[in-house]
């Protein structure tokens, strides 16, 4: 049976709306609210997930990281300060991922091999980050989307697991589907904004073709009562807050219908590295 990855970007609500790192202490801490609801859903369906964890979250909530590891979930890196990669200098990026990998590994007692950039921000303007990731010990990246938005996306990316052959790193990109001649991602805001049947139909098509899928979500999407922030870009506010009350119900449905596991489990059990499609970092472009 085809396996699919259930992934979580482990961050709090204000981190998801791009509040500067220096201001985080000014906001209500609510990550545990959404996490409790999500972990119950995963437990009820006996599903293990990959948690792309902010280094700051790991340092602030060490018991949460230890619990995730004890329950058999995979711990992965989401960077430290939730800053978009293309807004960082290479030296700062290296510092952040090294610090995050170290703190998560120390707390969990497990190796951190996978990485996802905040806001999927490995784009054509930040391809320099991929070799740095590999140099710092990451063997899997989940940062690239073939969906092009105002925040992220690389049009030439393959919409399936592939090998970045020149740096020997597996790319497990965001899974997509076509809607009215446009591409949309499977998970996150798209999961809430569209009727459930559209996501389910897209998953069924991928399963029928033996294609692995990547689902992604955030803890704050299970916390519809988190504070409402007026001072943010309209597009971002719409995608962040719309239909939050539907996330739990939709997730319960998809967990009953699909076979989900961790990123590492999908790759180690069902992917033959020698048979993967291959690209080089220089092949990634928006032309």
What DSSP character marks residue 258? S
Task: State yes or no: pLDDT of 200 exceeds 70.
Answer: yes
Work out how many domains the chain is built from and give that number. 1
Q: What average pLDDT does the structure give for the chain? A: 94
Q: What residues contact 264, with CB distance under 8 A and at least 6 apart?
A: 50, 74, 113, 114, 140
Instruction: Output the pLDDT for position 99.
Output: 98
Residue 1 has pLDDT above 70, yes or no: no
**182: Cβ contacts below 8 Å, ≥ 6 apart:** none
Per-residue tokens: 275: 């048979």
Q: What is the rounded average pLDDT of the residues 275-283?
A: 95
Report the CATH number at residue 213.
Answer: 3.20.20.370
Q: What is the DSSP letter of 140?
A: E
3-state secondary structure 1-52: CCCEEEEEEECCCCCCCCCCHHHHHHCCCCHHHHHHHHHHHHHHCCCCCEEE
Instruction: Calculate what percentage of the chain has a pLDDT beyond 90.
Output: 85
CA distance 176 to 55: 28
pLDDT of residue 273: 83
pLDDT (mean) for 117-133:
97
User: Both tokens of residue 54?
Assistant: 């902010």
Q: Where are the alpha helices (DSSP H) in 109-144?
A: 129-135
The whole-angstrom separation of Cα 1 and Cα 10 is 28
pLDDT value for 151: 83
Q: What span, in angstroms and rounded, lies between the C-alpha atoms of 52 and 74?
A: 9
CB proximity list for 61: less than 8 A, separation 6 or greater: 31, 32
Say if CB 133 and CB 97 are below 8 A apart: yes
User: Is pLDDT above 70 for 141?
Assistant: yes
- Dihedral Cα 44, 45, 50, 52, nearest 10 deg: -50
Q: What is the DSSP letter of 168?
A: T
Q: Is residue 128 helix, strand or coil? A: coil
Query: What percent of the chain is predicted at pLDDT more than 70?
Result: 100
pLDDT digits (tens, 9 = 90+) for 158-170: 999 999 999 999 9
Give the domain extent around 240.
Answer: 4-283
The answer on pLDDT for 2 being more than 80 is: no
User: Is residue 180's pLDDT more than 80?
Assistant: no
Residues 227-242: what's their mean pLDDT?
A: 91
Q: How many residues does the chain have?
A: 287
The mean pLDDT value for 8-15 works out to 97
Question: Picking from 29-38, 85-94, 134-143, 207-216, which range would have the lowest pLDDT averaged per residue?
Answer: 207-216
Over range 209-236, report the average pLDDT: 93
Each residue's pLDDT tens digit, 70-113: 999 999 999 999 999 999 999 999 999 999 999 999 999 999 99
Cα separation, 28 vs 100, whole angstroms? 23
Model confidence at 271: pLDDT above 80: no
């Amino acid at each position: 049976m085809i396996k699919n990855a259930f992934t979580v970007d482990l961050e709090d609500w204000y981190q998801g709306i791009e509040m500067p790192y220096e201001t985080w202490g000014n906001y209500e801490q609510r990550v545990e609210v959404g996490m409790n609801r999500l972990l119950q859903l995963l437990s009820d369906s006996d599903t293990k997930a990959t948690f792309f964890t902010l280094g700051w979250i790991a340092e602030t909530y060490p018991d949460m990281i230890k619990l995730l590891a004890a329950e058999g979930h995979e711990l992965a890196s989401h960077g430290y300060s939730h800053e978009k990669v293309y807004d960082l200098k290479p030296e700062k990026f290296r510092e952040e991922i090294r610090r995050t990998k170290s703190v998560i590994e120390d707390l969990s007692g497990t190796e951190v091999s996978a990485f996802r950039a905040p806001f999927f921000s490995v784009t054509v303007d930040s391809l320099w980050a991929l070799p740095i990731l590999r140099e710092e010990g990451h063997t899997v990246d989940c940062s690239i989307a073939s969906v092009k938005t105002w925040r992220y996306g690389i049009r030439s990316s393959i919409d399936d697991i592939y090998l970045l052959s020149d740096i020997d790193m597996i790319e497990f990109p965001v899974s997509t589907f076509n809607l009215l001649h446009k591409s949309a991602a499977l998970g996150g805001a798209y999961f809430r904004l569209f009727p459930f049947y559209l996501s389910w139909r897209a998953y069924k098509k991928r399963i029928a073709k033996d294609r692995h899928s990547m689902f992604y979500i955030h803890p704050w999407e299970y916390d519809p009562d988190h504070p409402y922030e007026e001072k943010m870009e309209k597009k971002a506010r719409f995608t962040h807050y719309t239909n939050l009350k539907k996330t739990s119900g939709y997730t319960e449905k998809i967990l009953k219908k699909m076979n989900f596991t961790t990123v590492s489990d999908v790759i180690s059990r069902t992917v033959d590295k020698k048979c993967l499609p291959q690209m080089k970092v220089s092949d990634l472009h928006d032309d």
